[in-house]
Amino acid sequence: MTQDEMKKMVAHAALEYVEAGAIIGVGTGSTANHFIDALAGIKHKIDGTVASSEATAERLKGHGIAVFELNEVSDIPVYVDGADETNKYLHLIKGGGGALTREKIIAAASNKFVCVADGSKLVDVLGAFPLPVEVIPMARSYVAREIVNMGGQPEWRENFITDNGNQILDVRNLEILDPVKMEAQLNNIVGVVTNGLFSIRPADVLLLGTEEGVKTIT
């Protein structure tokens, strides 16, 4: 099975978590895109969605699925999104697509976070994938120096602006043995909007695509 087939398989499996009459939080990326396409098949069952990026909102609207602003919505029973890395505790690295801040906001506002990922995303220790950090543009160099002091190697994701008008530093070489501590420490640097560690609010369910089928990890 290809990586994309695995992504499609877990995206379809996530439909099981979609409740009738609910507003569904929808993530960003190729796995989330498969979920959006699958959701289109049951769109009459739901009241609508909240999107974690402009790209996701466009794709949802293209399928005729209603997209609400988060401020208009008080209850999101489930949020479905992919990940760049996950450990067995369902701590994640996200933000490869640059949507980490809106993703983290919707994850925080949701009752259940269902992460959908192909098997290659499961790792023992987070950090082989460069950790994205969204920064206010004027703070980029300052934040980069602070991250170097922490032992990281930040690289500016040039020619990329987030949906919030900010910039991204991709950080290599961080030994993320304590994701909760690292997430808080990075968010404490003035000028950081948020970072791609999702460990203070981890996923609740991981649907992992494997050759043997979908593995559910909680």
Which positions lie near ligand 5RP, rule CB under 6 A? Answer: 27-31, 81-84, 94-100, 103
CB 102 within 8 A of CB 25: no
Backbone angles phi, psi at 6, to 5 degrees: -65, -40
Q: Cβ closer to ligand 5RP: 10 or 142?
A: 10
Q: Considering the complex, what minimum distance in angstroms separates the CB of residue 175 from ligand 5RP?
A: 21
Q: Is 176 left (phi over 0), alpha (psi -120 to 50) or beta?
A: beta
- Which member of 16, 19, 54, 103 is catalytic? 103
Q: Cβ closer to ligand 5RP: 118 or 146?
A: 118
Q: 181, 183, 174: which is closest to 155 by C-alpha?
A: 174
Q: Is 103 a catalytic residue?
A: yes
Q: Considering the complex, what minimum distance in angstroms separates the CB of residue 88 from ligand 5RP?
A: 18
Q: Considering the complex, what minimum distance in angstroms separates the CB of residue 152 from ligand 5RP?
A: 19
Q: Cβ closer to ligand 5RP: 84 or 146?
A: 84
CB 97 within 8 A of CB 31: no
Q: Cβ closer to ligand 5RP: 98 or 152?
A: 98
Dist. CA 120–CA 76, nearest whole Å: 29
CB 29 within 8 A of CB 51: no
Token pair in block for residue 119: 């098997």
Q: Considering the complex, what minimum distance in angstroms separates the CB of residue 45 from ligand 5RP?
A: 24
Could you give the residue numbers annotated as active site?
Answer: 103
